[in-house]
A and B are shown apart, each in its own frame.
Chain A
Amino acid sequence: MNLPAHTPGPAPRHHVLSVLVENRAGVLARVASLFARRGYNIYSLAVAPTDDERFSRITVVVDVESAPLEQVVKQLNKLINVIKISELDPRDSVERELMMLTVRAGVDVRSQLIELLGVFGGDVLDIGHDEVMVSLDDTPARLDDLEELLRPFGIIELQRTGRVALPKLEHSLGQGLRS
């Protein structure tokens, strides 16, 4: 079955940084304030502990040219609580993001919506009289696609988590198993 063509992903100015930090109070503020000081907008941000509870991983997508980014990465590295930073090139990493949407969907269009969602592999989380709440976890580009296709139904609320990413494994199957 043909899926809709991907809409363009984030512009090339976007960079994905994966920042391994100590899991302690104030670390996120230190990281965030380095971007804020230079007026760089953080496009998305996801933070959670890793398998080692002493450390958390911050995945930050930032809107900036490459040259100043190099300086920000070096400044981030100077933070005492930052362990390691890698910039993840989308071509060499696997990215995921979760999106939840509440969509206007009366009885007449509900099955149409659910069918569309099924094509994307999304889930129905809740059903109301005239609304359906759905979710999709996939690449950011696929989330963009679904959002675009659901827009005609009428999007009431939308929430995305910001992307998380890990480097692709060596000898991985081309683009990774699912993307």
Chain B
Amino acid sequence: MTTHTNGGSALIKALECEGVEVIFGLPGGAILPVYDPIIDSPIRHILVRHEQGAGHMAEGYALATGRPGVAMVTSGPAATNIVTPLCNAYMDSTPMVVITGQVPYPSIGTDAFQECDTVGITRSVTKHNELVTRAEDIPMAIRQAFHIATSGRPGPVLVDIPKDIVDPKNPASAMDWYWPTDDEVASSLPGYRPTTKGHPKKIKEAAELIMAARRPVFYVGGGILKARAAEALRELAELTEIPVVTTLMARGAFPDDHPLCLGMPGMHGNYTAVTAMQQADLLVALGSRFDDRVTGKLDGFAPTAKIIHVDIDPAELGKVRRPDVPIVGDCRLVIEELVKALRDRGAGSDSNDSPDRTEWRSSISGWQERFPLTYEQSEPGELLKPQYVLEQLRSRSPEDTIVASGVGQHQMWTSQYWKFNHPYTWVNSGGLGTMGFSVPAAIGAKVGRPDRTVWAVDGDGCFQMTAQELVTAATERIPVKVAILNNAYLGMVRQWQEMFYEERYSEVYLSPDLPDYVKWAEAMGCVALRVESPEEVGPAIDKANEIDDRPVVLEFRTDASEKVFPMVPSGMTNDQIVVDPTQQELPR
């Protein structure tokens, strides 16, 4: 039995069949016919104010839920506006499906109104993209898109759909509905077969290296979260009693309050995480990719460490640092096999001949004691310390609060001072470093997890890039909370100019008062408060946490002279880490 339909209705039905519950989007000429059947669909559509917002909301939704985010926009300028989120999702391996309208197929290539070569422009920032040319291909294109976005190394997939094949008034849109089976999807993609199971011989070799190591560290990246491997990781860490560092993308993958957790490594990582990696004799990289922000100057990175590298993407193995044991596979499956292999070798019992790691443990605890994260609290009446604001925000918000951030100093302080004890509670832009990410991403996260408190921590520079989405949040009753750390500067750039350009500040001053953030937030339908003195911080946060029917914006006036420490200056090795000025005389 066949059901006669048209491409536009089939597109929406296909999204329903994929289990999509929400689309972030904004209509326009070429996508117009698809917006008609949305009225009758159970899928919630959230009307954004800028297409970039739609993309970041879809990312925030995906990062908080693990399900693919979906954004839909029109052709031309809308497609170009969503290029940044696509690239962001590609860099951070976030599953996302973006549907773009396109001019009618016969008009493609004629410089038609709002035409651009969307597939050409987005080719290098998507895991895959496809121009659909026939209405009857739409269901398969959507199934493929979700399959590709969510399997293997996840990523964004774009489906570009010309207007004529979705417009019921156009004969080209006529089609019979069908829904491809899993087998049909698989056989339609003969070049796509991600490896998920690790090679048993390599797992054996990895287990032997781990058993023999004196100074091992688990170097854990975002792949753990993508593979939903947080529990498996915990079992592995506790079995072996090997310390864990969690990269910026992996915050929350291993609880910060766990005795084996060393926190974040990298350019602004804490001293212990950075130094433990430097001095390790074995790094077990699990879903991490030896990013330049983690390694510092590459030829000085972890010079004595052997490397076990587990990643689902074979292209990551050997891309930066050649592993001694490369394992292609899904992190969860590989860790589970690794745990078995380690148990077989007596891990976790007294009957194994692993070397004594007491000295390693005491080195680590020594660093932790001497070089904790630190700052000096300000006096009442002085500008706020951003670290203090974050400590207060963390301790006064529910334990499982989701926190999103933009990019810059506030992002690093959030990653450092927020205690992440749960997976999928940290939403940030890692690889691309997209300023303006936090407000829309927080909205997407809140839509995906309405049961959770969602805070966006933002800088004043970032906030000005995407703040308009708070209108979306107010209209759609999405009660996110935004903490602006307003230091009136592009703070991270200011920090680099202070440290590396002899305090010659070039184009980084933004003004604390222009715009008036409180008035602006109120105009967008939010509750807004300005916080200027330390004693006001706690009560303001408590008040914000009580509001649950509209967005809240807290503007914290923070000290622009505050810098993010520790810091590994660009081009230096991790041994040259610069600690807080109060710790510089301490023995390393």
Contact = CB atoms under 8 A, between A and B. Distances in A.
Interface of A: 21-22, 25-26, 29-30, 33, 37, 54, 70-71, 74-75, 77-84
B120 A29 contact: yes
B123 interface: yes
Contacts of A81: 191
Nearest to A81: B191
Contacts of A79: 191
A33 B190 contact: no
A78 B313 contact: yes
A83 B318 contact: no
Which of B123, B191, B314 gathers most chain A CB within 10 Å?
A: B191
Contacts of B190: 22, 54, 83
A77 B128 contact: no
Q: Please provide the 4 A-B residue pairs with the shortest distance between their CB atoms, ordered closest to farther.
A: A74-B315, A83-B191, A80-B128, A82-B191
B314 A74 contact: yes
Nearest to B320: A71
A21 B190 CA distance: 9
B120 A80 contact: no
Contacts of B318: 70-71
A21 B191 contact: yes
Which of B124, B192, B315 gathers most chain A CB within 10 Å?
A: B315
Nearest to A37: B124
Given A77-B315, A80-B192, A83-B190, A33 B124 contact: yes
A24 to B, nearest CB: 10
B319 interface: yes
6 contacts: A21-B191, A26-B131, A29-B123, A74-B315, A78-B315, A82-B191
B119 interface: yes
B119 A26 contact: yes
A28 to B, nearest CB: 12
A82 B128 CA distance: 12
A81 B188 CA distance: 10
B315 A22 contact: no
Contacts of B131: 25-26
Interface in B189-209: 189-192
A14 to B, nearest CB: 22
A77 B192 contact: no
Contacts of A70: 318
A170 B124 CA distance: 39
A22 B315 CA distance: 21
B210 interface: no
A75 B123 contact: no
A26 B131 CA distance: 9
Given A22-B190, A78-B313, A80-B127, 16 more contacts: A21-B191, A22-B191, A25-B131, A26-B119, A26-B131, A37-B124, A70-B318, A71-B315, A74-B315, A77-B314, A78-B315, A79-B191, A80-B148, A80-B189, A81-B191, A83-B190
B120 A71 contact: no
Contacts of A25: 131
Nearest to A67: B318
A65 B152 CA distance: 29
Nearest to A21: B191
Contact of B191 (A29, A75, A80): A80
B315 A75 contact: yes
A119 B488 CA distance: 80
B196 to A, nearest CB: 15
Nearest to A36: B124
A79 B190 CA distance: 11
A52 to B, nearest CB: 10
Nearest to B188: A22
A75 B124 CA distance: 11
A25 B128 CA distance: 13
Contacts of A29: 120, 123
A74 B314 CA distance: 7
Interface in B112-127: 119-120, 123-124, 127
A74 B119 CA distance: 22
Interface in B477-534: none
Contacts of A22: 190-191
Interface in B312-332: 313-315, 318-319
A157 to B, nearest CB: 31
A75 B120 CA distance: 18
Contacts of B127: 80
A29 B190 CA distance: 19
Contacts of A33: 123-124
Interface string B290-331: 000000000000000000000001110011000000000000
Which of A54, A74, A83 gathers most chain B CB within 10 Å?
A: A74
A47 to B, nearest CB: 16
Interface string B90-124: 00000000000000000000000000000110011
Interface in B419-437: none
Which of A29, A78, A79, A84 gathers most chain B CB within 10 Å?
A: A78
Contacts of A75: 315
Contacts of A77: 314-315
